[in-house]
Amino acid sequence: MTPARFAYVRPETLDAALAVLAREGEGAMPLAGGQSLVPMMAMRVARPALLLDLNRLPGLEAIAVVEGALRIGAMARHASVLAHPAVAAEAPLLAMALREVAHPAIRNRGTLGGSLSLADPAAELPACMLALDATMVLASAAGERRIRAAEFFIGLYATARRPDELLLRVEIPRAAGWTAWFEEVARRRGDYAMAGLAVMARRAGGLIAEARLSFCGVEPAPRRLPEIEAALVAGADAAALLPRLAEPLGSAETPAPYRLHLAQVLLRRATESLHAAA
Ligand SMILES: Cc1cc2nc3c(=O)[nH]c(=O)nc-3n(C[C@H](O)[C@H](O)[C@H](O)COP(=O)(O)OP(=O)(O)OC[C@H]3O[C@@H](n4cnc5c(N)ncnc54)[C@H](O)[C@@H]3O)c2cc1C
C-alpha cells in the first residue's frame, strides 16, 4: 500500500517548525519516529497534506534532571529512555513499561513524544505519565503551554494538543519514597497490551500512604481511578470495585469481560505485591 500524496518539510529550528504548524494547521502532521504514522499513512488512515519532520530539531531528545523534575524531550527514543541512568533513578516505572513496548528495532526509532501524542489506548507510556503525575509541555508560535497528564489524554487517540502545537517534553516530579509497579498481559512479548497497569505507591511508616494508578489497554483512554487508588491504599479488594468503575473496550480477540478480568487480576497482584513490600 502507498500513502496519498503529501508535501514534506524538515526544518532545522523549533521556530521554523512552529511557523509551519501555525500556517498549515490540521493539514500538517509532525513526524517523529514514524513507527505509527508511516504505517497509518500507508493504510491511508492518516492523510497529511504536509509531513513536518521533527528529526533535525535540536535538543528535543535531551533527558536530564532540572529543577527537581526529570525532563524527557519529545524526541527521546524509547531505547534511550530505557537505558538512561536518570530514568532508572527517578522514574523506574518508565523503564519497566518500556521493556514491554514493541521490539528493539521499533524502540530504536519510536519516541516518547510520538507515543504520547498518538494516545493509542493500549500504549504503556500514557498510563505511566498519569501514574507519575507528569506535566506535558507544548509549544506553538504563541508560546508554551503546560498540561498535567490527567488533562492531556481526553479520549480514544485524542489529546488536548492543538493542531498548531508540538509536544516539546514531559516533566516528571522526583519521587523519593515512591515505589513503582508495572505489569501487563499481551499475547506475545512486544505486542500491545490486552491489559496493563502502572502504579506509583508512596510508603510511610510501613504502610502505603498514597497511590496513583492507570490502566492501559483497558479503556478508550488512560485515566486515574480515585476510588480504586483509595481501595489499594487501604489494602481492600480494589478489583471488586472495577466492574462498576471501568468501561472496558471490547474487540473480537479480546472481549470486554475478558479485558476486565485481566485488569482485575493485575490489580490484585499490584495490591498484594505493594502491601507485602510496604
Ligand atoms: C510492530 C509494532 C509494535 C508496537 N508495539 C507497541 C507497544 O507494545 N506499545 C506501544 O506503546 N507502542 C507500540 N508501538 C508503537 C511505537 O511505540 C511507536 O513508536 C509510537 O506509538 C509512536 O512513536 P513515533 O515516534 O514512531 O511517532 P510517529 O509515528 O512519528 O507519530 C505518531 C503520532 O504522533 C504525532 N507526533 C509525533 N511527535 C509529536 C510531537 N512531538 N508533537 C506533536 N505530535 C507528535 C504524529 O503526528 C502522529 O500523529 C508499536 C509499533 C509497531 C510498528
Tell me the CA–centroid distance for residue 268 and ligand 1, in Å: 30
Distance 116 CA to ligand 1 centre (A): 8
Burial classification of residue 170, based on how many CB atoms lie within 10 Å of its CB (0-12 exposed, 13-18 middle, 19 or more buried):
buried
Q: Do domains 7-53 and 63-173 have the same CATH topology?
A: no
Residue 51: strand, helix, or coil: strand
| pLDDT for position 205 | 87
Cell of 137: 509541555
> CATH says 7-53 is which class?
alpha beta
Topology, domain 63-173 = 3.30.465
Atom of ligand 1 nearest to the CA of 111: 25
Fold of domain 178-277 = Enolase-like; domain 1 (3.30.390)
Which tens digit of pLDDT belongs to each residue from 166-224?
999 999 999 889 999 999 999 998 889 999 999 999 999 889 999 999 999 999 999 99
Mean pLDDT of 80-108: 97
Confidence check: pLDDT of 278 > 80: no
pTM equals: 0.97
Question: In whole angstroms, what separates CA 246 from the centre of its chain?
Answer: 19
Q: Domain map of the chain by residue range?
A: 7-53, 63-173, 178-277
Sequence-ordered strand ranges (E) for 98-222: 135-140, 143-148, 153-155, 158-159, 166-173, 178-185, 195-204, 207-216
What angle in degrees, to the nearest 10, is found between the helix axes of 256-277 and 226-234?
40
Q: Is 139 in the pocket of ligand 1 (CB under 6 A)?
A: no
Q: What is the pLDDT of residues 3-18, one digit of tens each?
A: 999 999 999 999 999 9
Does residue 124 have its Cβ closer than 6 Å to ligand 1? Answer: yes
Query: Strands 28-31 and 50-53, how do they pair?
Result: parallel
Q: What is the position in ligand 1's atom list of the atom closest to the CA of 186? A: 8
Q: For the chain, report the end-to-end CA distance as a whole number of angstroms.
A: 53
pLDDT at 186: 95
pLDDT tens string 96-139: 999 999 999 999 999 999 999 999 999 999 999 999 999 999 99
